[in-house]
Amino acid sequence: MIIFLKFLHYKKMFMLNKKRIISASQAILEATDQFMKKDSNLVLMGEGINDPKGIFGTTSNLSKKYSKNRVIESPISENGITGIAIGLAINNFKVLLIHQRVEFALLSIEQIFNNAAKSFYVTNGIHKVPLVIRMVIGRGWGQGPAHSQSLETVFSYVPGLKVLIPSSAYDAKGMLVSALRDPNPVLILEHRWFHYVTGNVPKKIYQSDITKPKIISKGKDITVVTSSYNVYEIIFCSEILKKFNINLEIIDLRVLRPLNTKPIIQSVKKTRKLIIFETGNKIYGIGAEIIASILEKYHDVFDFPPSRIGLPDSPTPSTRGLAKVYYPNSIDIMKAIIKQLNVNVEVKKKIISLLISKLPSHEIDVPNPNFKGPF
Amino acid sequence: MKLKKWLNDDPIENFLKYLKKKKQYDKKKIEVIKNEIAVEIKKSFDFAINDNFPEVSSLQKNVYAQ
């Protein structure tokens, strides 16, 4: 009997510690499926949600499980479908609208900015708009200037919208659930390559916090704020720097609007150095907003001018020849980090050579094979 | 199975079927068009494969007219 009880105890402990590793795209599919099962008022809409690839697998087979009234393969009429989605949301439905590329949402900016974002405000809190819009951002082979932009700051400009940018498989599910439970519009920006990242994702339905950034690695030497797929570039650099006793404090931004800078300010007060690595353009980017917010309150908090890494001021090129100089690579990022640190030339050289030795040889404009996780 | 389903949805093939149904299908004309397309694709592929990558400075070319 005692042996049997011990067995049950260890089995329980094992089950509690057992991690369930799935990809971010599987996590999104699971969250959507679980929520649709639970809430019959949730309607899914989007262009290509029923095609064989199912938006990176995030909508695969949902049309087989649920009725055509709930999984709506929409026509190429973004402003129209967004208007319908807002109308449904005001009338006691929840809508999950998906744009396979963020650029498709540009055709519905008027609906998003003027109706979704402001209905609650202009009706004195009467009309809630429980609408979630998922949009895919970021680079990918051959996507070029009009299909690979990272326009998260465009949407972050508008009061009334919540703008999320998950980086992990755990948040992929948890943030989507939180967004679907929010009574007003929430936009989720997903980097194309983030869908392949894996991590521990509980089977049960759960929520992630959508109010603030998260410190994913504690460090004393410099604060690095980043988001989405870029988190993995910074983790990669961080692992190398640890060998030289340099510790980065890595902050995953997660929530672009409302922007909560408190954890960043607390970190910067400790490290007195800051780098922001964003997925979008450096000019008019989220980095500018963060630095300005800090300096408005704490003008003497930095020992070194804060810096930003982002995309250069030109449209995204399609050709690989230019893509390799357009996107900041691990070496660019590492150089920007060590520029702020008090490191001598020899150590700098050693850091860069170690970094180069760890770089995988893979085609440009495809995900780094080392960034699949689990994280 | 899936491929077959999507091949059946091919708008070009369906348009050809439609032309046949309407007795507007001209085999010779269609062959000419198909050949023209094949030549154009090959020409584009050859150009892309044999051409050098653009200079890095061209990243900023034509962003603004002035």
In tens, the pLDDT along A283-299 reads 999 999 999 999 999 99
Q: What is the ipTM of this complex?
A: 0.73
Residue A11 has pLDDT above 70, yes or no: no
Predicted TM-score (pTM) of the model is 0.90
Tens of pLDDT, residues A123-140: 999 999 999 999 999 998
Residue A15 has pLDDT above 70, yes or no: no
B11 touches chain A (CB under 8 A): no
B47 touches chain A (CB under 8 A): no
Q: In the prediction, which pLDDT does A7 show?
A: 59
Q: In the prediction, which pLDDT does A14 show?
A: 53
Q: In the prediction, which pLDDT does A22 show?
A: 97
Average pLDDT on B46-64 reads 90
> What gap in Å lies between CA A11 and CA A13, rounded to an integer?
5
**Which CATH number is associated with domain A18-200?**
3.40.50.970
Tens of pLDDT, residues A57-85: 999 999 999 999 999 999 999 999 999 99
Are the CB atoms for A270 and A247 separated by under 8 Å?
no
Give the structural domain span for B26: 11-49
Residue with tokens 């504690």: A218
Point out the residue among A52, A312, A320 whose CB comes nearest to the CB of B59. A312
Q: Inspect the interface and report whether the beta carbons of B53 and A314 lie closer than 8 Å.
A: no
B66 touches chain A (CB under 8 A): no
**C-alpha A111, offset from chain centre:** 23
A214-372 CATH pick, 3.40.1190.20, 3.40.640.10, 3.40.50.1970, 3.40.50.920: 3.40.50.920
In a domain, residue B39? The reply is yes
Q: Inspect the interface and report whether the beta carbons of B53 and A319 lie closer than 8 Å.
A: yes
Chain A residues with CB under 8 Å of a chain B CB are 52, 312-315, 317, 319-322, 325-326
Q: Which residue of A has its CA nearest to B62?
A: A314
B59 touches chain A (CB under 8 A): yes
pLDDT band at A274 (very low <50, low <70, confident <90, very high): very high
Point out the residue among B52, B56, B63 whose CB comes nearest to the CB of A315. B63
Which residue, A302, A264, A318, is CA-closest to A286? A264
Residue with tokens 């357009």: A326
Q: Which residue of A has its CA nearest to B48?
A: A319
Query: β-pairing, A198-200 with A186-191?
Result: unpaired
pLDDT band at A2 (very low <50, low <70, confident <90, very high): low
Residue A12 has pLDDT above 80, yes or no: no
Q: Inspect the interface and report whether the beta carbons of A52 and B2 lie closer than 8 Å.
A: yes
Point out the residue among A52, A320, A325 whose CB comes nearest to the CB of B59. A325
Residue A220 has pLDDT above 90, yes or no: yes
- Nearest-CA distance B65 → chain A (Å): 13
Q: Give A186's strand partners.
A: A132, A162
Q: How does DSSP classify residue A68? A: T
> What gap in Å lies between CA A214 and CA A251, rounded to an integer?
6
- Nearest-CA distance A52 → chain B (Å): 8
Q: In the prediction, which pLDDT does A364 show?
A: 81
- Nearest-CA distance B3 → chain A (Å): 9
Average pLDDT on A19-48 reads 97
- Nearest-CA distance A249 → chain B (Å): 33
Point out the residue among A52, A313, A319 whose CB comes nearest to the CB of B54. A319
Q: Inspect the interface and report whether the beta carbons of A315 and B6 lie closer than 8 Å.
A: no
Q: Inspect the interface and report whether the beta carbons of B59 and A320 lie closer than 8 Å.
A: no
Which residue, A101, A79, A253, is CA-closest to A166? A253
In our burial notation (b when 16+ CB lie closer than 10 A, e otherwise), range A187-208 reads bbbbbbbbbbbbbbbeeebebb
In our burial notation (b when 16+ CB lie closer than 10 A, e otherwise), range A282-306 reads beebbbbbbbeebeeeeeebbeeeb
Q: Which residues of A are catalytic?
A: 78, 147
Contacts of A312 in chain B (CB under 8 A): 59
B50 touches chain A (CB under 8 A): no
Domain residue ranges of chain A, discontinuous segments joined by +: 18-200, 214-372
Task: Give the rounded percent of residues in chain A with a pLDDT score beyond 90.
Answer: 87
- Nearest-CA distance B10 → chain A (Å): 14
Q: Positive or negative, the Cα torsion across A149, A154, A160, A166?
A: positive
Identify the residue among A322, A326, A327, A332 best suited for mutation to test binding to B, counting B beta carbons within 10 A and taking the highest.
A322
Q: Inspect the interface and report whether the beta carbons of A314 and B63 lie closer than 8 Å.
A: yes
| Measured distance between the N- and C-terminal CA atoms of chain B, rounded to whole angstroms | 54
Q: In the prediction, which pLDDT does A10 show?
A: 61
Identify the residue among B53, B59, B60, B61 best suited for mutation to test binding to A, counting A beta carbons within 10 A and taking the highest.
B59
In a domain, residue B23? The reply is yes
Residue A215 vs residue A324, higher pLDDT: A215
> What gap in Å lies between CA A212 and CA A255, rounded to an integer?
6
